[in-house]
Chain A
Amino acid sequence: MIHFHNITKRYPGGHEALSNVTLNLEAGEMAFLTGHSGAGKSTLLKIISLIEKPTRGQAILNQINLNTLPITRIPYIRRNIGIIFQDHQLLFDRPVFDNVAMPLIIQGYARHEIAKRTRAALDKVGLLHKEKSMPITLSGGEQQRVGIARAVVHKPMLLLADEPTGNLDPVLSREIMQIFIDFHQVGVSVLVASHDLNLIEELQKPVVTLNKGKIIHNDLESLHE
C-alpha cells in the first residue's frame, strides 16, 4: 500500500522534517506512528495524502509514484484515502449527514446510493440518530466520530489519522481507536499517528517511532521478514 524509500523532506528555510525514511505498509496492515511533536509524523502523513511532495526519495502509494504524479490526478488519488484530522475539519454550516456525504457527492454517486452509504457509515460510528444535527451541537468525541464516518463513507483502501484522540479523554480515545481496529479487521489499511503511548501499547499493533525525522523503531520491518 505505502512504499516509501529513503524519503527526505526539507522545508524552505532548510528545516529537515524527514531524513531518509523508509517505510512499507502492506495492504490490509495497521500501524501506529509515534514520536514527539516535531518528529515528522505530520510531514509523513502529508506526503501520503499528497499535501506535500518529498524533496528526495521515492514515494509510492498503491503502485502509483507520487513523485511524478501530475497535479490534476491528485484528487482522484485522494479518493482512495480516508483522512481523519485532529480537529475534525467538519463544516459547521451543514448537518452531520451532509458532512458525511461529501466524499460521495464529490465522486458522483447516485442519490439513493449516497443516502444508503452515508447512513451505513454513521451507523458504524454509532451516530445514526444524529444525522440531522448540526456539528456544533455535538460533543468533541461525537464530532471526531463524524469525521471518521466521513473518512470511511466511500470505503477507502487506506485510512490515515493524525492524532485522532488528541483532544479526547481516555475512555473516548479507546472507543475511537477501536473503530480503527474494526476497519482494519475488514481489510482496510490503517496508519494512525498518535503520541498516546499507553493506549498504543494496550492495543498491541505494530508501532513505528520517529525521532527528529528519522525512524528509530519499526515493528513493520520484523513483520515483513
Chain B
Amino acid sequence: MSDNIHQHRPNIFHKISSWLLHHFQSLVFSLGKIYRSPSSTLMTIAVIGITLTLPSGFYLLLKNIQSISGDLRSSTQITLYLDMDLNTANAQKFNSELKNRPDIASTIFISRKQALKDFKNTSGFGKSLDHLESNPLPHAIIVQPPAGTDTLILKTLLSKLESLPQVDIAKLDTEWLEKLFTIIEIAKRTVIIISLLFSFAVLLIIGNTIRLDIQSRYQEIIVTKLIGATNAFIRRPFLYSGVWYGLFGGLLSWLIVELSLIALSGPISTLNLLYQSQYHLITFSFIDFIIIISASTLLGLAGSWLAVARHLNDIEPT
C-alpha cells in the first residue's frame, strides 16, 4: 500500500522540466505582479534606485579623483639649484649631461637671468628688484624622472643628484602629494563605508517589502501549504520578486548617475578649457555597469531571502 503513495506522481523527467517551468513561471509571475501594481512597485524600485545612486555615484567620483591624482604622481619633479660659482656655459653643459642619464626622462634648464625675470613677473616685487646689485638666484634645472618612478627610487635619485659637485641644493617636493594621497585614501574608505551602509539599507528595504508581500498573501500561502506545496515552491515567487526589485533598482541608479553626468558635463568642459587641461570625465565602463547590476540583484535576492526565511516558515495552517 505504501507504494500507492507514489502512484499519481509524475515521472522524473516531468519533475525536472516542471521544476524548471515553475522557476520560469515564478519569474514571469513576479514580473507580472510588478506590472499589475505599478505604482507601489515603482515606489519601491525608486527608493532602491536612489539609495544605490549614492554609493555608485561616489564610486565614480573616486575613480575620477584617482585618475587626476595619477596624472599628478607622474608630474613629480626634482628641482636642482646649482652652485653659485658655476657659469652659464658649464651649467648648460651639466644640463646636457643630465639629459643623457637613463634615470632621467627630461630636464628644463632655467638660467639665473630667466629665473630673475620670472620672479619679477610672478612675485609682484617688480621694479623694486631692479635695485639689487647682483642677481641672487642660481641657475636651476628641473629634472623629470621617468613616468611611474616610485618614491623610493626618487629619493635615491635625489641623493645621487645632491652629491654631484655642480649641485648646491636638490629638492623633491612630494610632501603635498603624500597629503593628497592620504586624503584620497580617506575618501576611498569613506566610499566603502557609505556603500556598505547603503547596501544594508537596500537589503532592509527589500526585506521589508517582501515581508509585507508575504503578509498580504497569507491566505494563499496557507491554502497552497494545505494542498501539498513545499516551502521551496512557496518561497520561489517571493525570491524572484526580490531579484526584480534589485535588478530594476540597480538599473535606475545607473541611469540616475548617467543623467547626472550629462548635467555636469557642461561646466566640467568649461573648467577644462579654463585650466587648459587634458582631463576627461570618467564614466561607467561596461564592467562597472555589470558590477552595479549584479550587486543590486544579489542584494535583492539576499533581502528577500532574509524576509522569506524569517516569515514564511512561521505561516502554518491551524
Residues of A within 8 A of B (CB): 27, 49, 51, 62-64, 72, 75-80, 83, 89, 91, 93, 102-103, 105-111, 113, 150, 154-157
Contacts and interface: CB of A to CB of B under 8 A. Distances in A.
13 contacts: A27-B1, A51-B226, A51-B317, A62-B2, A63-B1, A75-B230, A80-B5, A91-B219, A93-B220, A108-B14, A110-B14, A113-B10, A154-B8
B10 A106 contact: no
Interface string B1-36: 110110011100011011101100100000000000
B227 interface: yes
A80 B229 CA distance: 12
B228 A103 contact: yes
A79 B5 CA distance: 9
Contacts of A79: 8, 227-228
Contact of B22 (A76, A105, A154, A156): A105
B279 interface: no
Nearest to B2: A63
B318 interface: yes
B223 interface: yes
Contacts of A91: 219-220, 223
Closest 4 CB pairs of A and B: A108-B18, A79-B228, A78-B228, A75-B230
A75 B223 contact: no
B1 A102 contact: no
Contact of A64 (B5, B18, B19, B230): B5
Interface residues of B, number: 31
Given A107-B9, A107-B10, A150 B227 contact: yes
Nearest to A82: B227
Given A109-B14, A110-B10, A64 B227 contact: no
B15 A108 contact: yes
Contact of B10 (A51, A76, A109, A156): A109
B18 A89 contact: no
B235 interface: no
B225 interface: yes
Which of B17, B225, B316 has the most C-beta atoms of chain A within 10 angstroms of its own C-beta? B225
Contacts of B219: 89, 91
B224 interface: yes
Given A62-B2, A76-B228, A108-B18, A89 B10 contact: no
B19 A106 contact: no
B227 A106 contact: yes
A40 to B, nearest CB: 16
Nearest to B13: A110
Contacts of A105: 22, 25
B233 interface: yes
A76 B7 CA distance: 12
B145 to A, nearest CB: 69
A60 to B, nearest CB: 11
Contacts of B222: 89
Contacts of A75: 225, 228-231
Contacts of A51: 226, 316-318
A110 B17 contact: yes
A146 B286 CA distance: 53
Contacts of A80: 5, 8
B226 A89 contact: yes
A72 B17 CA distance: 22
Given A51-B317, A108-B18, A110-B10, 14 more contacts: A27-B1, A62-B1, A62-B4, A63-B2, A72-B230, A75-B229, A78-B225, A79-B228, A89-B226, A102-B227, A106-B230, A107-B10, A109-B10, A113-B10
Contacts of B9: 107
Contacts of A150: 227
Given A62-B5, A110-B18, A83 B227 contact: yes
A78 B18 contact: no
Interface string B216-259: 00011011111111110100000000000000000000000000
Nearest to B18: A108
B34 to A, nearest CB: 15
